[in-house]
Chain A
Amino acid sequence: MLRASRRLLRPGGRTAFFTIHPAPGLSSRRRRRAHRDGPVAVASHLSQRDLLERGGFVDIAETDRTVEFATVARAWIEQRDRHQDQLVEALGEAEFEQRQREARVQLRAIDDGLLRRSLLVAVCPND
């Protein structure tokens, strides 16, 4: 995806994105759990910043947004529970249960420090 952004941006063009990734420095066992329990974007061991740097981007800024990630993940679960009857009617019991189960597993992985969500901003160089 970064390769696509790099190609399609004009010199001086900007990219900004939110991405979910394993926390840095996890043991290989915890890293595997991060991949299993979360929608983790890249399999690479490199950080998003390193990937952007290797891709030739400049002025890279990375901000950890995991606190909001946990808040929003929790809010999705709570709100779906609150509207359970309507959702079960619309989606079916099995689909509702599966979405909630996956969301809870993921929230646990966030709370356990396995998953993070970051905002990255970078610029395509001018030359």
Chain B
Amino acid sequence: MVTREEHETRQRFRDRYGEDRPDALVQIERAVIGADWGADGYTTRRQADQLADALRLAPSVWLLDIGSGRGWPGLYLAASTGCRVVLSDVPLEGLRAAVARAATDRFAGGAVAAVAASARALPYRAGTFDAVVHADVLC
């Protein structure tokens, strides 16, 4: 069942993530965040690196990113540490952008999967992940 809140989240972020990102937004993100993975919050690249340390990410680790938007920080963490990541969020549009990026030559990270699901309803068995991350997710 989809709650009203999830419905609103989907609406709100669908519009945002569906945008074909104008060049100006990419430049702005580089200036503010220090990276261009489509961040939609306040996690800088330095802070993402601190998350990697705190989670002890490494190539064999399975990471879950809840509310990953366009893949920040989960996709970046897979690229920078070689860990394997499942990106999850409610709207499809951000996940699509993330998967598209993971398929490009620019991406040199570990395995990437994406799942469209609310945090409450993630289709995984208990104890599946070594690490869970989220950044500015409002639920």
Contact = CB atoms under 8 A, between A and B. Distances in A.
Contacts of A83: 24, 27-28
Interface string B3-38: 000000000000000010011110110011100000
Contacts of B31: 75, 79
A19 to B, nearest CB: 7
Contacts of B1: none
B66 A5 contact: yes
Contacts of A16: 51, 54-55, 131, 133
Which applies to chain B's interface (DSSP): helix, strand, loop or mixed? mixed
29 contacts: A1-B139, A4-B66, A5-B132, A8-B128, A9-B127, A9-B130, A9-B131, A10-B129, A13-B130, A16-B131, A16-B133, A17-B51, A17-B133, A18-B43, A19-B134, A20-B136, A72-B32, A75-B32, A79-B27, A79-B28, A79-B31, A80-B28, A86-B22, A87-B22, A87-B25, A89-B22, A91-B22, A117-B136, A119-B54
Interface of A: 1, 3-5, 7-11, 13-20, 39-41, 65, 68-69, 72-73, 75-76, 79-80, 82-83, 86-87, 89-91, 117, 119, 121
